[in-house]
Amino acid sequence: MWNREGSPRSEDPRPPQTFEPATENRQPDERRVVAWVGKSVIFKGDLISSEDMTIDGRVEGTIELRDHTLTIGPDAHIRATIVAKTVTVLGAVTGMITASAKVDVRETGSVEGNIISPRLAMADGAVLRGRVDTSAREAASSKRSPLSAVV
């Protein structure tokens, strides 16, 4: 019944295989590309991240990703002050958004609050109730002659 050739040999140089969860096989320096807040998560308070982030859940408070990208998923409900490099809105945001590069409100997105960003993109169907300040662009155009600004 037992075959010697089918049993492991003591001279086999390979160590025996062990089964570990996939997360433990990750290299210590390996990083996720994007942090993620799932649909079932409700977060209240200050959310600060040093990496790009996608939020599909609910956040109330402040969100700060100074030099990174924030994506608000289509099922997300955000009541927060947001500071990021780039903000893409596919869900609902109530609060102020400050972006150093760009705010992109997609067709399923809505923003109720003020936006401060040098660039703003809005798709057909997107909703915006509030004030938009593109002061970085206005500052660049104000360096031109005052006569060129008058049309």
Does position 27 have pLDDT exceeding 60, yes or no? no
For the chain, give every domain's residue range. Answer: 31-138
For the ranges 6-20, 34-48, 76-90, 125-139, the lowest mean pLDDT is seen at: 6-20
CA distances from 147 to 128, 136, 142, 150, 151 (A): 32, 20, 10, 5, 8
Kindly report, residue by residue over 44-79, the tens digit of the pLDDT. Answer: 999 999 999 999 999 999 999 999 999 999 999 999
Does position 133 have pLDDT exceeding 60, yes or no? yes
Does position 102 have pLDDT exceeding 90, yes or no? yes
pLDDT for 54: 96
Q: How far, in Å, CA of 45 to CA of 28, rounded?
A: 29
Higher pLDDT, 59 or 138: 59
Does position 3 have pLDDT exceeding 80, yes or no? no
pLDDT category of residue 151 using cuts at 50, 70 and 90 = very low
pLDDT for 16: 52
pLDDT for 148: 39
Q: How would you class 10 by CB atoms within 10 Å of its CB: exposed for 0-12, middle for 13-18, buried for 19 or more?
A: exposed
Does position 20 have pLDDT exceeding 80, yes or no? no
Higher pLDDT, 100 or 27: 100
pLDDT for 9: 54
Kindly report, residue by residue over 109-127, the tens digit of the pLDDT. Answer: 999 999 999 999 999 999 9
Neighbours of 22 (CB within 10 A): 6
